[in-house]
Amino acid sequence: MENKTYEPCRPRKVAFLGLGVMGYEMAGHLRRAGHDVCVYNRTVGKAERWVREFGGSMAETPRQAVIDCDVVFACVGNDDDVRSIVLGEDGALAGMKPGAVFVDNTTDSAGLAREMSRLFAEHGLAFVDAPVSGGQAGAQKGVLTVMCGGDESVFNAVRDVIMAFSCAVTYLGPSGNGQLAKMCNQICIAGVVQGLAEAIAFGSNAGLDMKAVLKVIEKGAAGSWQMRERGSTMVDGKFDFGFAVDWMRKDLGIAMNEARINGSSLPLTALVDQFYGEVQQKGGSRWDTSSLIVRLPKQ
């Protein structure tokens, strides 16, 4: 991991629920920042490994993990996964102390965020939807971008804790707005990656040295994070750099469903989602999102 400078922050007792590719690293940064961290993961062995690596503690259920915690973080798969760790006699809601804050870093629906916000408020608790962008590399380096929705005073109370694994934490309005912003993020990525894939395939078929071409054009108007970080690996046909096609399709599905609700038209997003379906059919479900290029013919 590259060196990260942590902002001065009053140490808190926090829980982290979900130690996947993102959550494992995010929880580690919270520990490095000086917080007392208790983790929960469905696969117990991963929680045990996290404790061996970072210290802190682990619990067998979400309810046990959140006892006496000031802030509870979650980073799981989807709406149903969030409900599974929140609800029920072993869920987080049953164990959180009055005044505690639940920060959901999962990418899920805006409707779920609003539902959770109401539910937590009924129990004297606060909820912030706070999906992240930056992928596995951003989580490892602690430089994720976090888009937050909820009560602004609650956001202000937990922002310094969230900064442990972030480079930018932004308040965007009421509950659900963080998730809506993440949908915008994924819509943008879908179009950018498809354009990059087409450019690389086109240039390769024309006989160009595409690594040299990318090095030139990334400094101009065509430049993007995707081009800088994934362009050369796309040329090499390497697709093992984090955020998987399966998860991208999940996110695009959420965005397209929201578009149907608010009357938006997402023709390019729908098309790229279809293209990712073709990548899945080629066996690329766990390849990263730059694998769109595999469906394009190359001479």
113-147 in b/e burial notation, b at 16+ Cβ within 10 A?
bbbbbebbeeeebbbbbbbbbbbbebbbbbbbbbb
Alpha carbon distance 292, 299 (integer Å): 17
Statement to judge: residues 220 and 281 lie in one domain: yes
Q: What is the tens place of the pLDDT at every residue in 126-157? A: 999 999 999 888 999 999 999 999 999 999 99
Residue 239, domain member (yes or no): yes
Of residues 166, 110, 112, the one with CA closest to residue 138: 166
Query: What residues make up the domain containing 259?
Result: 180-295
Paired tokens of 37? 């961290």
For the segment 189-211, the average pLDDT, to the nearest whole number, is 97
51 and 168, same domain (yes or no): yes
Same structural domain for residues 155 and 236?
no
Co-location of 63 and 132 in the same domain: yes
**Does residue 284 register a pLDDT over 90?**
yes
Q: What percent of the chain has pLDDT over 90?
A: 94
In-domain check, residue 74 = yes
Q: Which of 10, 76, 89 is nearest to 39 (CA)?
A: 76
191 and 167 within one domain: no
| Residues 85-100: tens digit of each pLDDT | 999 999 999 999 999 9
Across the range 164-184, mean pLDDT stands at 98
pLDDT of residue 82: 98
Give CA–CA dist 127/220, Å, rounded.
41
Going by C-alpha positions, the residue among 99, 102, 78 that lies closest to residue 91 is: 102
Q: Do residues 39 and 73 share a domain?
A: yes
Q: Is residue 3 in a domain?
A: no
CATH code, domain with 28 = 3.40.50.720
- Do 19 and 142 have their domain in common? yes
- Same domain for 144 and 224, yes or no, is no
Examine the domain organization and report whether 129 and 19 are in the same domain. yes
Mean pLDDT of the chain: 96
**Rounded distance, CA 76 to CA 114, Å?**
17
5 assigned to some structural domain: no
233 and 163 within one domain: no
Whole-number Å distance between alpha carbons of 151 and 8: 23
Give the chain's domain count. Answer: 2
pLDDT band for 9, please (50, 70, 90 cuts): confident
pLDDT digits (tens, 9 = 90+) for 223-239: 999 999 999 999 999 99
| 166 and 191 co-located in one domain | no
Residues 150 and 196 in one domain: no
> Does residue 7 lie within any of the structural domains?
no
Comparison of pLDDT for 55 and 136, the residue scoring more? 55
- 51 is a domain residue: yes
Q: Cα 109–113–118 angle (5° rounding)? A: 145
- Tell me, yes or no, whether 267 lies in a domain: yes
Catalytic center residues: 182
